[in-house]
A and B are shown apart, each in its own frame.
Chain A
């Protein structure tokens, strides 16, 4: 077999190991799913009237706010799910099994690839699940074309990949699970201070740059545009740039740490 097909085979083995972990111990993934679902219900059913009145100029329309909110919640779901990748990578690296992998004649990076692909698949599945909840409480995206749907799915996968690489890097440098989930906190906090809940122009002027110049806002605005037909503008390119940049950064970071001699 060529070295590429060996690499694919080993990575596939590691992916199956990763998915087996996720299937055997779903509590971590389910816990991480809880946050976006609770926030979705909270903002729609408890704060919904105030939020929609605030945005609609005093006129309360809860379904309009629901439509605004869902793309943000979906991106937030990705941020939350990849925290699981940070945790499982740091736990894995502390285990003897990875030392064993390093002394075997296998594709060296396969264990990392298994984590990355596993995390992307889990993120996309989580987005679909949270999306289903949103549809169940009245979210509709009927105006979107099939192509826009496909683009939305691609965007979700791309954001998942970018955030996963960053999370894996965070997991690599974290000595244990607690440290990993602390280090990955920005992935949960950043969507809270993006345009997920309120539009940028509704924010205080001093805060606006913080919300504007971060990866979640362009990604959310692009998804919003694809699903609801709102103006995308530069946001598509910005989101793409962020994704590529974060992926490359996370990849190089992870590679550097992984190739370091283990203690």
Chain B
């Protein structure tokens, strides 16, 4: 395994993983989509698979949820071997795919009752759960309308409500908020948090860093069919340089003289050689100076600015965020080996 991997925090839960995959490989024709994926998700946590479009996130979900078979590797979900007993795995999971898995021709309520019938619930139990979930997901008013007429957010809510009919303890959500407006996205996040607080394990894919940061206990960054890095959001942020102070000018001549002064300056601490001496953004009239954001470093920078007679119109401190991690690990179509170099 060549991927960069941080060790699990010492607070690791003692329960065995409810989703465990080793050495997953999958090709579609000549195209290698997954090139040896190992995953382990403890019970009651949110695991987020983060990656750009085409990284193979959906393929991972399809394999783990028994929709397609892997070319190689083993998967255990809820204690069952996926290859040996897919029906036992299916009985334990709920899946909400990337494209809404609702029957558009029938109403929201009929969709729910269809799920209840397929879970072999009694008629009364099916009606009870349907009413409860439609109410919980704010779909009561639209219950008698065909699902095809629903908005994107409503379809996604119905989709998740249908997934919950059987009371699954493990839920796969493939890009649950892609294409949703900000309000619907926050509603969805609330739903996911609620599920987790009820002890459900959530396996989530997303291309939004904020989403992974907000929801996930652990994040794996998938790039070109490999796990480029894995850890908590904080652990991942520590992997890459990204903290800096940004000085912005409105007067081009002030910007130029500051840039000259910066080029000649030597800082006592240049934590990240790649960015030593800072960098320029001529168009925005902005300078970036590497910094860990500590008070000590900030003060020494301010002292230097004063002594050099530089007065910026705006000073902002940037701490590294998942964006930095993401771009460092997946940037520019770089192969994982190069991404790995960048993180060392």
Contact between A20 and B106 (Cβ–Cβ < 8 Å)?
yes
A147 to B155: give the CA distance in the assembly, Å: 52
Residue of A nearest to B105 (CB): A21
Question: Which one of A13, A101, A103, A105 has the highest number of Cβ atoms from chain B below 10 Å of its Cβ?
Answer: A103
A-B pairs with beta carbons under 8 Å apart, 23 shown: A1-B120, A10-B118, A16-B117, A17-B103, A20-B110, A21-B105, A21-B106, A24-B105, A95-B101, A95-B104, A96-B97, A96-B102, A97-B102, A97-B103, A99-B95, A100-B95, A100-B97, A102-B66, A102-B67, A103-B67, A103-B93, A105-B87, A261-B67
Q: Scoring B residues 80 to 103 as 1 if CB is less than 8 Å from chain A, else 0, what string do you get?
A: 000000011011010101011111
Kindly state whether residue A9 has any CB partner on chain B within 8 Å. Answer: yes
Give chain A residues whose Cβ lies under 8 Å from the Cβ of B101.
95-97, 99-100
Q: Count the A residues whose beta carbon is within 8 Å of the partner chain — how many? A: 25
Kindly state whether residue B68 has any CB partner on chain A within 8 Å. Answer: yes
A25 to B91: give the CA distance in the assembly, Å: 32
B-contacting residues, A1-58, CB 8 Å: 1, 6, 9-10, 13, 16-17, 20-21, 24-25
Residue of A nearest to B106 (CB): A20
Kindly state whether residue A262 has any CB partner on chain B within 8 Å. Answer: yes
Kindly state whether residue A104 has any CB partner on chain B within 8 Å. Answer: yes
Number of chain B interface residues as a range:
20 to 34
Residue of B nearest to A21 (CB): B105
Given the contacts A24-B105, A103-B90, A261-B69, A96 and B120 also touching, CB distance less than 8 Å: no
Give chain B residues whose Cβ lies under 8 Å from the Cβ of A95.
101, 103-104
B residues within 8 Å of A by Cβ? 28, 65-69, 87-88, 90-91, 93, 95, 97, 99-106, 110, 114, 117-120, 146, 162, 166
Contact between B67 and A99 (Cβ–Cβ < 8 Å)?
yes
A261 to B59: give the CA distance in the assembly, Å: 12
Kindly state whether residue A106 has any CB partner on chain B within 8 Å. Answer: yes
Contact between A17 and B68 (Cβ–Cβ < 8 Å)?
no
Residue of B nearest to A17 (CB): B114
A106 to B66: give the CA distance in the assembly, Å: 13
Give chain B residues whose Cβ lies under 8 Å from the Cβ of A24.
105-106, 146
B-contacting residues, A66-120, CB 8 Å: 95-97, 99-106
Residue of B nearest to A100 (CB): B101
Give chain A residues whose Cβ lies under 8 Å from the Cβ of B88.
105
Residue of B nearest to A10 (CB): B118
A9 to B116: give the CA distance in the assembly, Å: 12
Question: Which one of A17, A21, A24, A105 has the highest number of Cβ atoms from chain B below 10 Å of its Cβ?
Answer: A105
Contact between B103 and A13 (Cβ–Cβ < 8 Å)?
no
Give chain A residues whose Cβ lies under 8 Å from the Cβ of B65.
103
Give chain B residues whose Cβ lies under 8 Å from the Cβ of A21.
105-106
CB B79 to nearest CB in A, in angstroms, measures 15
CB A2 to nearest CB in B, in angstroms, measures 13
Contact between A96 and B66 (Cβ–Cβ < 8 Å)?
no
Give chain B residues whose Cβ lies under 8 Å from the Cβ of A263.
28
CB B166 to nearest CB in A, in angstroms, measures 8
Residue of B nearest to A261 (CB): B68
Give chain B residues whose Cβ lies under 8 Å from the Cβ of A262.
67-68
Contact between B120 and A6 (Cβ–Cβ < 8 Å)?
yes
Residue of A nearest to B96 (CB): A100
A99 to B97: give the CA distance in the assembly, Å: 8
Give chain B residues whose Cβ lies under 8 Å from the Cβ of A106.
118
